[in-house]
Each structure stands twice: as structure tokens, then as C-alpha cells.
Amino acid sequence: MPRKLPTRNVGYADLNLNEFWIERLEYTETPDLHDELMTPWVRVSRPKILRSTSSSYLVTLRVEVLQDPRSVDVTIVGSFDFDPAGGGDEPSSRMLTYNGTAILFSAARGVIESVTGVSGYGRMHVPSVNIAELLDS
């Protein structure tokens, strides 16, 4: 019998991603360094948040991934709108920071996996990260 998971009601964020774009993308293969054992890593920047209109924000995030013998460095920008008709308060910087980072990191993972999927080494798997731990540290 399936175990019933505990649930709780949560509010929806009246924050919507309108669009995102890649501001910068760098893919590098260094097969000559392949003999040196490098520990794979993912580095995610703290997001930069700018208000563009009274109800919209631009969130910029940089994601770097190293998986020997290649690396990817991508800067992604998302345009988020706040829907005041949703009845909620204006989004807090915490909401923009955590939700914006989670949404853009997910989009960046897809872009990185698509770009590297056509490389000679095949698709680079980008692991998920704990956004709360990342931003709280």
C-alpha cells in the first residue's frame, strides 16, 4: 500500500517568468588536461535583481560547471512580472532571490545540457543544487 505523504497548503507566488535569455555562454573543451584528475563542480552566483518597471524585475544568474575535460559558463537573465491582481503583496526580495534563482537555474541546466549534447563528449549532466543552502551560506 502506498505511503501517504504529509501535505500542507502553501500560497502561490504572484511572480511569473515572462521570458529568459542567455547573456553569455562559453563552452570549453580541454582534452590535454584530461589526464589531471579534476573534481567536477557546479558554481552558482547570487542573483542580481533589478526593477525594470513598477511590476517587473530582471534577475541575472551565472552558472559555471566543470566536468573534466570541459567547462561551461553561462549567464542567464529572466524577466519576471508581479501580478498585483493576484491579491498578494509586492514580491519581497527574498521571493525574487529564491524563486528567481530556482527558476533560472533550472532553465540554465536545460540550456547547458542541450548545448553539450551536440559536443564530441556528449551531454553534460548538470546536477540539481540546494538553492536555499546555496543562498543562505
Give 36-93 pLDDT, tens digit per residue.
556 778 999 999 999 888 888 999 999 999 987 899 999 999 999 876 665 555 667 8
Q: What is the pTM of this model?
A: 0.82
Please state, in angstroms and rounded to a whole number, the distance separating the CA atoms of residues 26 and 41.
16
Q: Which residues are within 8 A (CB) of 128 and not within 5 positions of it... i.e. 6 or more apart?
A: 109
Q: Which residues are within 8 A (CB) of 111 and not within 5 positions of it... i.e. 6 or more apart?
A: 22, 25, 74, 76
Please state, in angstroms and rounded to a whole number, the distance separating the CA atoms of residues 42 and 128.
9
Architecture of the domain whose range is 15-136: Roll (3.10)
As a whole number, mean pLDDT of residues 107-129 equals 93
